[in-house]
Amino acid sequence: MTRDADRDEAVLRAYEPVVRLTQGEYFVPVSVERYVARAALWSDSVEGAVLEAPSGTLDLDSLAARSRVNQGFGRSLSGVVTGRQTRRFRLGTLERPPRLRGGGRLAAVGLLARAVDGLNRASLVFRGSVPGGSAARSFALQQQYLAPERPTYYGRVLRDGDWIICQYWFFYAFNNWRSAFGGVNEHEADWEQVTVYLDGAGDFDTDGLPVPRWVVFSAHDETGDDLRRRWDDPDLTVLQGRRPVVFAGAGSHSGAYLRGDYLITVPTPTLGGLVRFLRALGRFIAPWARDERDGGVGIPYIDYARGDGRAVGATDDPWHPVIIDDETPWVRDFRGLWGHDTRDRLGGERGPAGPRYERDGSVRQSWADPIGWAGLAKVAPNQAAEAALLAVRSEQLAAKLVALDQEIDRGRLDLETAAAGLAPASPEVRALADEESRVLDLRMSATQLRDERARISDSLSEPLARPEPHEHLRHRRVPLTTVSGIRSRLLAGWAVISTPVILFAAAAVVSPTAGLSATSVAAFWLVVLLGVEGIVRGRFLAVLGRVLFVAALLIGWHYLVLDWRIVLAWILIGASALLLLVNLRDSVRR
């Protein structure tokens, strides 16, 4: 091992994370070398999947060698599917996860989201999905061959400008989110990662190590700036001053900064704006639907990131790291899938690609450009570097101002020369309006640049103020606030039966009882569904007020078509009553 490799490994070991699993989690980060030794290699063809290498015939070197022609694109590894027929496994004697209380994913979202969830689950009949018993088979494979007592991460160190980036990649043999924890999907194999961003601009701690500035945990619903947290963020748990703690979702293995249960809604297609309209209508009628993440239209599920299970990477459960980079053969040459390829059109049931690639064979942004991926291309690693950048910006502004002032002077001279000796209202002077407007725009631009340069000068005259840890976040991901007591039980029970009730209501609208119109039946069931939802959520009066408001609008529109004078009269009566109440209130206050 070279001196650089030794140094990189020392940095990786210094900042390696601790992954806290949820109690009942089946799978832990394991060795890909052991997995490949027990996996079969499949390739796509016109007739379907073809077994290219049976289980027990592969290792990482032979996998890379087989993939050098087309880099493995169109191939997939599987420890579950090892022959033409897959033997179905049942949990049998495997330890089942404990019942996770307090979540209730369907209880945390609205009626429409529950209906969408039902359609998604029904679609599994027509989409590709992992064979039954796959999770149990993968668990047996892990326990027998993958040495779960020796957790492994695949570490990578790279340097980009003033940043030193440490990436920790974790491989799980299976993602049993759907079958074990009520998640939205399930697939063989799972790659997750933690990325630590170190200050490479010259700051070192007392042990001569670069100072950590930011960290990113893999998440399903965050992008850009929302991915990262500052090292001094109060939401971040750090052990020994260096080792970030990631709370892994049960079955999903996604990372969370705070322990708890997280509601996620997978967005649905917009359907030409129909979904946006329904979401806006739902926010008006349902006071609990404040935003898309809490009651929006989508497929709802909960990430149980409780951290009450095994602490992988802790002192008594240490990591066994493997160093990788762009030249590692199996990382570079295999673009195929790690896990059974179900050919699911939505992608959720297919195995993932490796740490370097996406499923389509393109390079992951988190691998190719971890700085841009986390929104750090615009962030300096420390205040000294930021001050230097501000000084450069000030010089750039000064140069621009010189050029602008010269252009303004030329423009003024041209205007004065062209208008000299002419009457102010003459056509020649009026024709100068566009040039006069251009000179005015130049003056405004120069004023803005001078203001910016003045702000920079003020900033450089004293130590730079450090922003708040959450200032860069557009959305701070936090756990659900759980409801307890009888309301929790009512909400959970209603969540279970509401989707079948919605389907029954739809049937009643399609085929209404004799003597009733479809409109009246739809209105009845809408009021019933919203009323029950409001009762179990403790917001019945708010829902009732909104329903009455909508009813008044509809009645008003009905009478407006018949006789606009009736509607106008009622509007005037309502306005007079409101004005009387306001006047009485003001007189009492005096």
Helix (H, G, I), strand (E, B) or coil at 107: helix
Q: Are 204 and 367 in contact (CB under 8 A)?
A: no
User: In the prediction, which pLDDT does 427 show?
Assistant: 87
Q: Are 573 and 565 in contact (CB under 8 A)?
A: no
d(CA 31, CA 154): 9
Note the pLDDT tens digit of each residue in 259-313.
998 877 665 554 445 555 555 555 555 554 544 444 444 566 788 999 999 999 9
Could you say which DSSP state residue 344 is in? -
Query: Residue 287 has which token pair?
Result: 């006071």
Pairing state of beta strands 75-78 and 337-338?
A: parallel
Count Cα atoms within 13 angstroms, Cβ side, for 244: 32
> Which of residues 423 and 395 earns the better pLDDT score?
395
Handedness of CA 251, 255, 258, 263 (dihedral sign): negative
User: In the prediction, which pLDDT does 418 show?
Assistant: 87
pLDDT at 213 > cutoff 70: yes
d(CA 326, CA 29): 21
User: In the prediction, which pLDDT does 84 show?
Assistant: 45
pTM of the model: 0.77
Per the DSSP assignment, residues forming a β-bridge with 248 are: 255
pLDDT at 111 > cutoff 90: no
Note the pLDDT tens digit of each residue in 379-394.
888 888 888 888 899 9
Note the pLDDT tens digit of each residue in 418-464.
888 888 888 888 888 899 899 999 999 999 999 999 988 887 777 77
User: What angle is formed at CA 468 by the lines to CA 259 and CA 209, rounded to 5 degrees?
Assistant: 75
Which of 293, 285, 329, 328 has its CA nearest to residue 479? 293
Average pLDDT over residues 8-26: 93
Which of 498, 580, 73, 246 has its CA nearest to residue 588? 580
3-state secondary structure string, 263-294? EEEEECCCCCCHHHHHHHHHHHHCCCCCECCE
pLDDT at 184 > cutoff 80: no
User: In the prediction, which pLDDT does 302 show?
Assistant: 81
pLDDT band (50, 70, 90) for residue 93: very low
User: In the prediction, which pLDDT does 523 show?
Assistant: 74
pLDDT band (50, 70, 90) for residue 83: low
d(CA 427, CA 416): 15
User: What angle is formed at CA 171 by the lines to CA 331 and CA 82, rounded to 5 degrees?
Assistant: 85
User: In the prediction, which pLDDT does 519 show?
Assistant: 73
Considering only the C-alpha atoms of the chain, give the largest distance between any 2 of them, rounded to a whole number of Å. 103
pLDDT at 246 > cutoff 70: yes
Secondary element (H or E) of residue 165: strand 163-175
Pick the most confident of 37-46, 91-100, 158-167, 475-484. 158-167
User: In the prediction, which pLDDT does 90 show?
Assistant: 47
Which of 129, 115, 537 has its CA nearest to residue 298? 115
Average pLDDT over residues 208-224: 86
pLDDT band (50, 70, 90) for residue 349: confident
pLDDT band (50, 70, 90) for residue 155: very high
pLDDT band (50, 70, 90) for residue 540: low
Which of 223, 220, 241 has its CA nearest to residue 232? 241
User: In the prediction, which pLDDT does 294 show?
Assistant: 43
User: In the prediction, which pLDDT does 290 show?
Assistant: 47
pLDDT band (50, 70, 90) for residue 580: confident
d(CA 428, CA 419): 8
Query: Residue 99 has which token pair?
Result: 């019942």
d(CA 412, CA 142): 79
Secondary element (H or E) of residue 141: helix 134-145
Mean pLDDT is lowest, of 6-15, 31-40, 116-125, 246-255, for: 116-125
d(CA 330, CA 62): 9
User: In the prediction, which pLDDT does 31 show?
Assistant: 97
User: Which residues are within 8 A (CB) of 463 and not within 5 positions of it... i.e. 6 or more apart?
Assistant: 383
N residues, the chain:
590
d(CA 444, CA 334): 56
User: In the prediction, which pLDDT does 125 show?
Assistant: 55
The residue extents of the domains of the chain are: 3-373, 383-460, 485-589
Q: Where are the alpha helices (DSSP H) in 226-382?
A: 274-285, 329-333, 365-368, 370-373
User: In the prediction, which pLDDT does 426 show?
Assistant: 87
Note the pLDDT tens digit of each residue in 354-381.
999 998 889 999 999 999 999 999 988 8
Which of 335, 316, 368 has its CA nearest to residue 63? 335
pLDDT at 150 > cutoff 90: yes
Which of 211, 149, 204, 139 has its CA nearest to residue 172? 139
Query: Residue 540 has which token pair?
Result: 């019945």
Pairing state of beta strands 75-78 and 48-53?
A: unpaired
User: In the prediction, which pLDDT does 488 show?
Assistant: 63
Average pLDDT, rounded, for the chain: 81
User: In the prediction, which pLDDT does 67 show?
Assistant: 81
Note the pLDDT tens digit of each residue in 186-209.
899 999 999 999 998 877 777 788
User: In the prediction, which pLDDT does 163 show?
Assistant: 94
Could you write out the DSSP letters of every residue in 478-533?
A: -------HHHHHHHHHHHHHHHHHHHHHHHHHHSPPTT--HHHHHHHHHHHHHHHH
Residue 431's alpha-carbon distances to 408, 463, 547, in angstroms, are 19, 52, 60
Percent of the chain with pLDDT over 90: 37
> Which of residues 524 and 12 earns the better pLDDT score?
12
User: In the prediction, which pLDDT does 101 show?
Assistant: 54
3-state secondary structure string, 30-51? CCHHHHHHHCEEEEEECCEEEE
Note the pLDDT tens digit of each residue in 477-507.
888 766 556 766 666 676 667 667 777 777 8
pLDDT at 92 > cutoff 50: no
Q: Where are the alpha helices (DSSP H) in 346-432?
A: 365-368, 370-373, 383-419, 427-430
User: In the prediction, which pLDDT does 587 show?
Assistant: 80
pLDDT at 123 > cutoff 70: no
Percent of the chain with pLDDT over 70: 74
